[in-house]
Amino acid sequence: MSRSHRFRVASSLLAVVLLVTSCAKDDELAGEVALADVAGDAIVPLIDLSEFAIRGDLVVPEGRLVLDVLNTGAAPHNLRLAGGPITSDLSTGEGTFLDIGELSPGTYELFCEIAGHRESGMTTIFEVVPAAEADSATISTERSDEPDWAHLDAAMINSIKAFPAETEGLGNVALEPNILPDGTKEFDLTVAITPWEVEPGRIVDAWTYNGMVPGPEIRVDVGDKVRVNVQNDLPLGTDIHWHGIPTPNDQDGVAPITQDLIPSGDDYVYEFVAERASIGMYHAHHHGQMAIPNGLFGIFTVGDIPIPRGQTIGDTTIPEDLVVDHEIPMVLNDAGVIGYSLNGKSFPATEPYVVAPGDWITVTYYNEGLQIHPMHLHQFPQLVVAKDGFPLDSPYYADTVNVAPGERYTVLINADLEGTWVWHCHILTHVERDEGMFGMVTAMVVA
């Protein structure tokens, strides 16, 4: 199937509406603009959106430009001209026309602004050439829906064969405390923008605690006095909220409500007592929409993860003498410079978990992203034992555990089947794209 299109289309021939929205910047177009209002002829490049790519007529002659945008992918997408207009979110098979006006010869960025899509490769360079060089520009007369099937096959197989890939940097490294004379456990955190390799060859300017994503794991016992020294080396002010960890109001970490902002170059001290067993997170609250997706998050555990030893759930009785062989934290993210990731890495750079047959494993999912993630481990039932750190009176088995932003779910798994088992978010566009597997995928190897 193809969709015909002319190289130059007189504006009076198209009865469509340009949906051009704005993020309230002065240099962006705003409101609805009818194509009929565009004087004279328009150059109409064809632009296709998919997971996660922008393809089509990307070298065009100067003139009045109206992009014919079509979503050929499986997920919603939009298209923004950097510093300019943006389309509405387009469903699968939906199209629109985006009037970007007359651009001077040069290069411009086009990208999808939906969280995580730009970071997953949905960005491209759009080149406008002078009229004298118009022969170097190619404008399609029709678009085809026929993919390159052989390329898709090869890309997927090759991406999976690359797992596990080595990258620089490891997150969730345990942070050892300095024990003060009164027994207080003191931790030092430096907040800074640091190079971070999310997947092989993709190095981003991450916002980090102690140079890692996620930040270092903080673990204390119930009743411990906790002191956290924060040095802010960001260009922006910051604070730290102890998500799910009970603290006094003046330690809650929300500037300027419970504390003063920690300015760039300054330091701050948090002090509180770890009053009860908790499975929490720590992250910035000041400009959290920017700081957290870019990497400012870590895990904070107080006491032991609850295990329903001796309980019978369904037809399974949990052993009274069960020993947990592995505790796995899995922090989910989907936006900012980090993008779709597990523990700060995107497949094939995610960590495989190697366990012995019969091992008992606890996994805590921490969602620090902007979207919900249904986490699925092939073949192994997950016994949900705690929600947000609170032990469940009635633990239950789940094949897929749906984790919303801010939530923590703790599950117990018995690795009783040998083999390599895939483990992933089951929103498929969070794990696969045209160029193969990526994002929120790892594996458990039972051997």
Cα–Cα distance for residue pair 60/139, rounded to 1 Å: 7
Cα–Cα distance for residue pair 438/431, rounded to 1 Å: 5
Contacts of 134 (CB under 8 A, 6+ apart): 61
Q: Cα angle vertex 336, ends 158, 297, to 5°? A: 105
What number of residues does the chain have?
447
pLDDT given at position 268: 98
Asked if the model's pLDDT at residue 148 lies above 80, the reply is yes
DSSP H helices, 1-72, are: none
pLDDT given at position 133: 82
Contacts of 201 (CB under 8 A, 6+ apart): none
113-133 pLDDT tens trace = 998 899 888 999 999 999 888
Asked if the model's pLDDT at residue 231 lies above 60, the reply is yes
pLDDT given at position 147: 80
Asked if the model's pLDDT at residue 24 lies above 50, the reply is no
Residue 126 or 19, more confident: 126
The DSSP-derived string for 164-216 is SPP-S-----B-PPEEPTTS-EEEEEEEEEEEEEEETTEEEEEEEETTBSSPP
Q: Are 242 and 199 in contact (CB under 8 A)?
A: no
pLDDT given at position 145: 67
Q: Are 227 and 184 in contact (CB under 8 A)?
A: yes
Cα–Cα distance for residue pair 432/5, rounded to 1 Å: 31
Please report, as a single letter, which amino acid is at residue 116. G
Asked if the model's pLDDT at residue 36 lies above 80, the reply is no
88-99 pLDDT tens trace = 999 998 999 998
Asked if the model's pLDDT at residue 436 lies above 50, the reply is yes
Q: Are 318 and 229 in contact (CB under 8 A)?
A: no
pLDDT given at position 146: 76
Lowest mean pLDDT among 61-70, 246-255, 360-369: 61-70
Which CATH code, of 2.60.40.1530, 2.60.40.420, 2.40.100.20, 3.40.50.880, is assigned to 2-146?
2.60.40.420
Contacts of 41 (CB under 8 A, 6+ apart): 8, 9, 10, 11, 63, 64
Cα–Cα distance for residue pair 411/389, rounded to 1 Å: 11
What separation in angstroms does the CA of 389 have from each of 92, 306, 360, 368, 413? 38, 8, 19, 15, 17
In CATH terms, is domain 178-446 a member of 2.60.40.420?
yes
Q: Cα angle vertex 309, ends 307, 314, to 5°? A: 100
Closest CA to 49 of 76, 22, 23: 76
268-304 pLDDT tens trace = 999 999 999 999 999 999 999 999 999 999 999 999 9
* Domain boundaries, given as residue ranges, for the chain: 2-146, 178-446
Asked if the model's pLDDT at residue 66 lies above 70, the reply is yes
Domains 2-146 and 178-446 share a fold: yes
Q: How confident is the model at residue 34 (pLDDT cuts 50, 70, 90)?
A: low
Rg (CA), the chain: 25
